Amino acid sequence: MKNWTKVFEDENQIRVEIVKGVLEGKGVDAFVLNKKESIYQINGTYEVLVPTEQTLYALQLIQHEITF
Protein backbone atom coordinates (compact mmCIF):
# COMPACT_ATOMS: atom_id res chain seq x y z
CA MET A 1 0.00 0.00 0.00
CA LYS A 2 3.02 2.21 -0.60
CA ASN A 3 1.39 4.52 -3.15
CA TRP A 4 -2.00 4.68 -1.45
CA THR A 5 -3.21 7.26 1.08
CA LYS A 6 -5.98 6.99 3.68
CA VAL A 7 -8.68 9.60 3.03
CA PHE A 8 -11.48 8.33 5.27
CA GLU A 9 -11.84 6.13 8.33
CA ASP A 10 -14.91 4.96 10.25
CA GLU A 11 -16.14 2.09 12.40
CA ASN A 12 -19.29 1.85 10.27
CA GLN A 13 -18.75 -0.29 7.17
CA ILE A 14 -21.78 1.18 5.40
CA ARG A 15 -20.40 4.73 5.61
CA VAL A 16 -17.07 3.54 4.29
CA GLU A 17 -18.75 1.80 1.36
CA ILE A 18 -20.76 4.97 0.60
CA VAL A 19 -17.55 7.01 0.49
CA LYS A 20 -15.90 4.42 -1.73
CA GLY A 21 -18.89 4.41 -4.07
CA VAL A 22 -18.98 8.19 -4.39
CA LEU A 23 -15.25 8.34 -5.09
CA GLU A 24 -15.44 5.59 -7.71
CA GLY A 25 -18.43 7.34 -9.29
CA LYS A 26 -16.25 10.42 -9.74
CA GLY A 27 -13.41 8.45 -11.30
CA VAL A 28 -11.23 7.98 -8.22
CA ASP A 29 -9.76 4.53 -7.62
CA ALA A 30 -10.70 3.52 -4.07
CA PHE A 31 -9.96 0.55 -1.85
CA VAL A 32 -11.46 -0.41 1.52
CA LEU A 33 -9.05 -1.77 4.10
CA ASN A 34 -10.61 -3.71 6.97
CA LYS A 35 -8.70 -2.87 10.18
CA LYS A 36 -11.13 -4.69 12.47
CA GLU A 37 -9.56 -7.10 14.95
CA SER A 38 -10.27 -10.82 14.85
CA ILE A 39 -13.13 -12.72 13.29
CA TYR A 40 -15.61 -11.11 15.68
CA GLN A 41 -15.16 -7.67 14.07
CA ILE A 42 -15.56 -5.88 17.40
CA ASN A 43 -12.69 -3.37 17.63
CA GLY A 44 -11.11 -1.35 14.87
CA THR A 45 -12.11 0.61 11.82
CA TYR A 46 -12.43 0.49 8.07
CA GLU A 47 -10.28 2.78 5.93
CA VAL A 48 -10.76 4.13 2.42
CA LEU A 49 -7.49 4.37 0.52
CA VAL A 50 -6.87 6.12 -2.79
CA PRO A 51 -3.78 6.45 -4.99
CA THR A 52 -1.55 9.18 -3.61
CA GLU A 53 -1.91 11.33 -6.74
CA GLN A 54 -5.72 11.40 -6.27
CA THR A 55 -5.65 12.27 -2.55
CA LEU A 56 -6.47 15.98 -2.79
CA TYR A 57 -9.36 15.45 -5.20
CA ALA A 58 -10.73 12.61 -3.04
CA LEU A 59 -10.58 14.72 0.12
CA GLN A 60 -12.41 17.56 -1.62
CA LEU A 61 -15.13 15.17 -2.80
CA ILE A 62 -15.55 13.73 0.68
CA GLN A 63 -15.81 17.18 2.24
CA HIS A 64 -18.20 18.70 -0.29
CA GLU A 65 -20.23 15.80 -1.71
CA ILE A 66 -20.89 13.45 1.21
CA THR A 67 -23.08 13.97 4.26
CA PHE A 68 -24.34 11.35 6.67
Please report, in angstroms and rounded to a whole number, the separation of the first and last CA atoms in the chain: 28
Tell me the pLDDT tens digit for each residue of 19-49. Answer: 999 999 999 999 999 998 777 767 899 999 9
Burial of residue 19, with CB atoms counted within 10 A of its CB: 0-12 exposed, 13-18 middle, 19 or more buried: buried
Mean pLDDT of the chain: 93
Q: Return the CATH superfamily for domain 4-65.
A: UreE, C-terminal domain (3.30.70.790)
- For position 1, what pLDDT does the model report? 66
Task: Express as a percent the part of the chain with pLDDT over 90.
Answer: 82
- Inform me whether the pLDDT recorded for 8 exceeds 80: yes
**Given a cut of 80, is residue 11 above it in pLDDT?**
yes
Residue 9 near residue 47 (C-beta atoms within 8 A): yes
Cα–Cα distance measured from residue 41 to residue 54, given in angstroms and rounded to the nearest whole number? 29
Q: What is the pTM of this model?
A: 0.90
Domain ranges across the chain: 4-65
